[in-house]
Homo-oligomer: A and B are copies of this chain.
Amino acid sequence: MSVDVAVVGATGLVGEALVELLEELDCPVAELHLLASGESAGKSVPFRGRNLRVRELDGFSFAQVKLALFATSAEVAGEHAARALAQGCTVIDLSGSVDGALVLPALNPARLGELGFPALLRVPCAPAAEVAEVVAALRDCVELQELSLTACLSASQLGREGVQELARQTAELLNARPVEPRLVDRQYAFNLLGLVGAADASGYSAIERRLNAELNELLPELQGRVQADCLLAPVFFGDALNLNLRSAVPIDLSEVRAALEAAEGIELVEDDYPTVIGDALGQDAIQVGRVRQGAAGPCNLNLWIASDNVRKGLGLNAANLAALLIKHYL
């Protein structure tokens, strides 16, 4: 009951976390193939006590595996996911660029029963997964009408290069050297960037479009009444989310607390606020605090959320989805 699996983008921040999680969750993987684009091929990544060599993506035939996870840029996934499917391989895309079925294992695993295999699947971006999981846990006490989110993303949103950029800029500043932006177009150290990447004609970044679309898809009761904005904070890892919900009926805060307390995958931080450092990083649970009524009245609920974007927001969801697929569908 195990199958051969490929992880594409195995040397990236998310790819490495994913390989770790496949091992940690005892995912029924027979042989694991690690793939990356040119410059990273040849490196090795540990898996079940062995160092697996990372191979070149371009020449790889996906006919060798039943399942491929794409922890790559949107460009790479866009280029290779369709080829993988054509070669008989089911795809889990983490990049948001593949037009497949959106599945968040904690929320809509039944979606898998409606599909034929091999199939193209995708998991939500980290903030969409985190918010949807929290909101879904509240469905008995919040009749969701509107959702407003300010997602403070971290350097890891830009991958390993983003983390290096923030570290380099910070060191330059603290050593009284001029800041030389490379990956971003301005000073990022000790600054807040109000846009993550480039904006389209409507003024939104790719991650904002993805976040809005995925929240609408995962929480269809919202019917478009979503506003999700992203900024990039000078923080290395983790998501910090300021979430406002509006319910059609007044909200009982003690019911909200009880629902969060009971939810698997969520940890309620009572009478305090969680932060990425100290609370969220390395954890498998989304940390939720500051449970309070909105200033606009009892139909409004506000929460402050911290989560490990790489591990919890993306990696765990993709690894759990892989395990579900292998056990029941492939």
Contacts and interface: CB of A to CB of B under 8 A. Distances in A.
Given A170-B170, A174-B171, A302-B227, A194 B242 contact: yes
Interface stretch (A107-115, A124-132, A274-282, A322-330): A274-282
Contact of A224 (B146, B199, B296): B296
A296 B231 contact: no
Nearest to A222: B296
A306 B194 contact: yes
Interface string A95-112: 000000000000000000
Interface string A258-276: 0000000000000111111
A296 B227 contact: yes
A275 B15 CA distance: 32
A295 interface: yes
Interface stretch (A33-41, A81-89, A133-141, A183-191): A183-191
A283 to B, nearest CB: 15
Contact of A231 (B240, B291, B297, B300): B240
Nearest to A241: B194
Given A203-B291, A291-B203, A191 B277 contact: yes
B146 A191 contact: no
Interface string A285-320: 000011111111100101010100000000000000
A16 interface: no
A162 interface: no
A195 interface: yes
A234 B231 contact: no
A76 interface: no
Copy number in the complex reads: 2
A212 interface: yes
Contacts of A227: 148, 244, 294-296, 300, 302
A30 interface: no
Contact of A187 (B226, B228, B278, B289): B278
A117 interface: no
A236 interface: yes
B293 A202 contact: yes
Nearest to A166: B190
A204 interface: yes
B170 A278 contact: no
A273 B193 contact: yes
Contact of A186 (B203, B275, B290): B275
A192 interface: yes
Interface of A: 146, 148, 150, 152, 170-171, 174, 186-187, 190-195, 199, 202-204, 212, 224-229, 231, 233-236, 240, 242, 244, 271-278, 289-297, 300, 302, 304, 306
20 contacts: A148-B227, A148-B244, A171-B174, A186-B275, A187-B278, A190-B236, A191-B275, A192-B235, A192-B275, A192-B276, A193-B273, A194-B240, A194-B274, A194-B289, A194-B290, A194-B304, A195-B273, A225-B296, A226-B295, A231-B242
Which 5 A-B residue pairs are closest in the complex by CB-CB distance? A203-B292, A194-B273, A150-B150, A194-B304, A192-B240
